[in-house]
Amino acid sequence: MKQVNQRAWFFLIPALIVMSVNAFIAFMTVINYSFIDKLPGLPSLWLGLENYRGVWQDNIFPSALRRQFIFSFVVLAIQVPLGILVALGMPKRGIGATISLITIGLPLLIPWQVVGIIWRAYTRADLGFVPVILSWFNYSYDTGLNPFDAWVTIVVMDVWHWTPLIALLCYSGLNAIPDAYFQAARIDGASRWKTFWVVTLPRLRSVLTIGILLRFMDSFRIYIEPFMVTGGGPGTATSFLSDTVVREARAFNFGPAAAMSLVYFYIILVISYVFFQVLTNVGTGNEPVQEA
């Protein structure tokens, strides 16, 4: 038998303590709550899978899940191509590169709540400039009344806030591509579009994998920004999963809320895993090769 040094475990103790406080204990509490009927001051009642069945019985969670998927799909479908486009347009060196890096990175430095407050201020029916400008075109804009307005506002806000992340990741990815690849494509007579497909995109794969994963997970658990701008309304039109869970918990339905958040958690886990597998294998030769 090979002697294994077990001392490493000792060094993990501080990390394990921190993790048990902020992750493990919290996680276990949620799992515990999901199986009982919990009301403050009353004895808990074991319910088994009752809370989990409840998640799917009324339409609250399923409709929020549907909205969540649509939202994540829409923002990814806009942010990924737009981010690549912005990165392609950024200057590679000189003062222009510095200026564009700072300008484009700026939205990422703003705290999420503040982003919500800023966009709330822009779009409030009584105070914001957006309704004023749209009224010049005879469009009566009101995020509190019109679900479409609320959706567009939140999507635009998210695009403004997070496209820079994709753009910056792609920018660093682009700068890492050796010039010889582009020169070879020029000599082989490739059009700019063809060069993009055959040289640029495959070489951005790893940064795009990270970008898409981050953006998917973040957009899937979006909470504070729509909460600040629309409060999930009008009605439940912009109430996404986390907002739905919070509403449930605020109504002292701890058991159902706990079951919901666990279902929510597993959905993110599974989808992220699938994303990761697909993105790391596409174009690497690990999938079947098409016939020439």
Region binding another protein by CB under 8 A among candidate stretches 3-11, 31-39, 147-155, 174-182: 174-182
* Contact window for another protein (CB under 8 A) among 47-55, 100-108, 198-206, 265-273: 198-206
Q: Is 186 in the site for another protein (CB under 8 A)?
A: yes
Contact between 191 and another protein per CB under 8 A: yes
Q: Is 109 in the site for another protein (CB under 8 A)?
A: no
How many chain residues bind another protein (CB under 8 A)? 22
Which listed residue (54, 107, 144, 202) binds another protein by CB under 8 A?
202
By the rule CB under 8 A, 292 interacts with another protein: yes
Using rule CB under 8 A, residue 198 touches another protein? yes
Binding test (CB under 8 A) with another protein, winner from 156, 174, 190, 210 = 190
Q: Which two tokens stand for residue 262?
A: 């666990």
* Region binding another protein by CB under 8 A among candidate stretches 14-22, 24-32, 187-195, 261-269: 187-195
Residue 41 · residue 266 · CB < 8 Å: no
Q: Is 178 in the site for another protein (CB under 8 A)?
A: yes
Do residues 165 and 215 lie in contact, with contact meaning Cβ atoms separated by under 8 Å? yes
Which window, 53-61, 83-91, 192-200, 230-238, contacts another protein (CB under 8 A)? 192-200
Binding footprint of another protein on the chain (CB under 8 A): 178, 180-181, 183-184, 186-191, 194, 198-199, 202-203, 283-285, 289, 291-292
